[in-house]
Structure formats: C-alpha cells, structure tokens
Amino acid sequence: MTTKPLHLDMHEQIECAQTLASRFYTDPAILAVEKTRIFQRTWQLAGTLHQPCGEVNGIKRTISDPESFFTVDVVGEPVIVVRDKQSELRAFSNVCRHRAGPIALGSGCKNVLRCQYHGWTYTLNGRLIGTPDVDGVEFFDRSTMGMVPLRCETWGQFIFVNFDLHAEPLSAWLGKIPEQARGFQFEGLEFAERRDYLIDCNWKVYVDNYLEGYHIPIAHPGLMKEIDYAQYRTDTYRYYSQQFAPIRAMKPEDSGERIYAPGPGLQDALYFWIFPNLMLNIYPDNIQTNVIVPLSHEKTLTIFEWFFHHAGSQQVREGIAKAIAFSEEVQREDVGLCEHVQRGLRSAAYDRGRYSVKRENGVHHFHMLLDEFLARP
C-alpha cells in the first residue's frame, strides 16, 4: 500500500480540464488506495432508524428501541450499530478483538454482545467484560480491548457511520441538503423495497454516469418524457452536488404514459449525490437511496432502496410497483452504458477525454474531490 500522495492531474477549471485518466478505472492498485483514503474517511449510509431488530414478547423492535442492534457490511467492512440501555446510538467494527470473529450476526435485542467464535463478551457501549479461559495471559488489559468504535450520526431517519473518528461532522457533508429537500415530507417514510445490481464496471464509472444528465436524451427515452431537459442543471457544493430536473408539465397526449406529474408539495425531481458513493433521489411520491459499493476494480454492487409513505396500503403498493418498474428501466439502460464504458477504458485507443462545460460540471466536481482525498497520505 502506497503512503505517497496520489495525484490525478486534474485542472480546477472545467474549461481547461481533461477527464480522469483511464488507468484510474482499470488498475486494481488504485482501488486499494481509494478504500483507505476515501471510503475509510467519509460518511457512509448504514441503515435507518426503522431497521428491524427482532421481537420481544411478541412486540416488534427496531434500532430506535434501547438494547437493540443490527449488523451491516459497509464498503467491505463488517459493522454493528447498537442502541444502548441509555438509548444512545453507537457503531462499532463487528470484529472481535480476540481473533477477528464476528461479535454479532444479523440483528436482535440484547443487553450484551457475545462473539460468535469464542464467546468474548462486550457491553453495548463497547467495553470488554467477558474473556473465557484466558487465565495465565500476561500483560492483558481488558480495558484496552473493547470494540473498535466508529463515528455514528443521523439525519432524519438515516444512520451514517464514519471510520475516521476525527472526520468533519455529518452536517458538514450534507450542507444545505435538508433545506433544499424541505418540499418533501420525510416524516413517516416507510421502507418499501430493496434491489441489488451487480455491474461489470469500476465504481467511479457508475458515479460518473449518475452525475450528468448529458446522456438522458440519447439513453433514457422514458426518463426524457418525465423531465424538462432544457431546465436540467447541476449545482455543486463542498461534498455533494444536486441535479435539478423540473417535472415536465402534463400534455393531452401524455394520458396513461406519465409516471410523475407536477402537484402540491415537491414540484421537481431532485438528485443529490454525496461524496463518494451515495445517491438520494427525491420524487414527488417517494425517496430512493443508491449506495455504490466497489467489489473489485471492475465490479460494482449498487444497492437501491425505496421509501414511501403508507407503504403497506394497496394503493401505495401499486405506486411502488410502477415506480420500481420505471427505475428498473432506467437502471438497465445505465448498466449497459457503464459496462460498455468500462470495456472502452481498457482500450489502447483511449486515455483521457474532455468535459462538457454545460452538462458535466458534476463529474468534474467528483474528480476534483477524488484528487483531493487521494493526495492525502
């Protein structure tokens, strides 16, 4: 693993900048550096406050209830999120300090956590309190062997973790998003569906594709019907960008064909990207999160989750099915594009390109952030 700064040779002005060199999408050594310098230092979505945690005496529990926990894989790292007896939300590495066994599996309601390998036991605030059959071990100080803590913060119902204990607060990363999305009613959202997609491309290819609407007229005819492309724009901020797409006004010939229509409340589709790998897509009737997980330098997992109000009602279920079918159509189109681009990036005929100043400022902003984080030792 290199400890030297990794420079991407990016120009700050998009008018003068070349796109990211192809080797940053095809070299497996680059991903190893990205995991350390980017994913271990940024806020990652881990779950929601409605995350199920089993039942107690026939009553369903969630992570909002004291003495509950759930486990989750966060960009390849096993993580456990707990709510302790005092109702404080915490997160830890789900790796036992003994010999790296899992401290917990799945989810549940417990007042202590016992490693699934040798039974070392921890309190919900991370303190090691049980170590069977370790008599005779010299220089062993239990107080230094607690669970490894992570930063844990929330926005609305969303739970975020950060492996860097000295990272800026989550609010610094979210910036103005809570204000910009205030037209949507977040209160009362319910989880509706999750779908996973495996894509044969580098994770950055997928993010690049998400961050520009330049390809919509060519690649997404269904989406093109829903938005006013002439008004489509991207605004960039410190750690995130917002794509703004007004919902196109209804026309008589649209009858039966449109998915969304302007109405009370949110009038537009809002697409937020939070560095490095989270997308928050806000539509008039639902919110969709996309988490982008690099599995290798040329294979990516994308996790889509949908949240609706009153997700259990029959009428809403019909809307959910319609929204997911529409999303599937766009995703199929994007998967094909991204896999073709990955093959093109391996070609000897390609190294770097140029940005569309009008349409690809979000991509350039992403690449500048990559350059900033990879340059840090």
Integer-rounded Cα Rg, in Å, for the chain is 22
- Which pLDDT score, from 0 to 100, does residue 225 have? 85
**Cα–Cα distance, 53 to 80 (Å, whole number):** 12
- Taken as a whole, the chain contains a residue count of 377
Residue 265 has pLDDT above 60, yes or no: no
Domain check: are 136 and 281 in the same one?
A: no
In a domain, 141, yes or no: yes
- If asked whether residues 211 and 158 sit together in one domain, one would say no
Q: Look at the pTM and tell me if it is higher than 0.75.
A: yes
Question: DSSP letter string over 235-287?
Answer: EE-SSEEEEEEEBPPP-GGGTTT-S----SS--EEEEEEETTTEEEEE-SS-E
| Residue 36 belongs to a domain | no
* Per-residue model confidence as pLDDT tens digits over 6-20: 889 999 999 999 999
Q: How many domains does the chain have?
A: 2
198 plus 143 within the same structural domain: no
Domain boundary among 106, 138, 166: 166
Query: What does the pLDDT look like over 91-130, one tens digit per residue?
Result: 999 999 999 999 999 999 999 999 999 999 999 999 999 9
What is the structure's pLDDT at 256?
56
157 lies in the same domain as 199: no
Q: What CATH number did the domain enclosing 236 receive?
A: 3.90.380.10
Does residue 212 sit in the same domain as residue 338?
yes
Do 293 and 359 share a domain, yes or no?
yes
Reported confidence tier of residue 263, pLDDT bands at 50, 70, 90:
low
Distance separating alpha carbons of residues 270 and 268, to the nearest angstrom:
6
Tell me: do 186 and 157 sit in the same domain. Answer: no
Whether 279 and 334 share a structural domain: yes
**Domain annotation covers residue 205:** yes
Q: Flag whether 336 is in a domain.
A: yes
SS3 category, 347: coil
| DSSP states along 33-63 | HHIIIIITSS-EEEEETT-EEEEETTEEEET
Q: Considering Cα of 365, then 373, then 79, then 203, what sign does the dihedral take? A: positive
Domain boundary (166, 200, 227) is at 166
Residue 110 and residue 225 in one domain: no
Residue appearing with tokens 């997404």: 220
In angstroms, the CA 145 to CA 368 distance is 39
Q: Which of 111, 141, 166 is the last residue of a domain?
A: 166
Please, which pLDDT band fits residue 313 given cuts at 50, 70 and 90?
confident
- Can you state the angle between helices 203-210 and 314-345, rounded to 10 degrees? 120
What is the span of the domain harbouring residue 259?
Answer: 177-374
In a domain, 27, yes or no: no
Are 306 and 196 within 8 A, CB to CB? no
Indicate if 122 and 205 belong to the same structural domain: no
Q: Where are the alpha helices (DSSP H) in the chain?
A: 23-26, 28-34, 170-174, 177-180, 203-210, 216-219, 221-226, 314-345, 361-374
CATH code for the domain of 120: 2.102.10.10
Give me the percent of the chain exceeding a pLDDT of 70. Answer: 94
Residue 306 has pLDDT above 80, yes or no: yes
Q: Are residues 192 and 329 in the same domain?
A: yes
Helix (H) / strand (E) element for 130: namely strand 128-130
- My answer on whether 82 and 196 are in the same domain is no
pLDDT digits (tens, 9 = 90+) for 151-183: 999 999 999 999 999 999 999 999 999 999 988
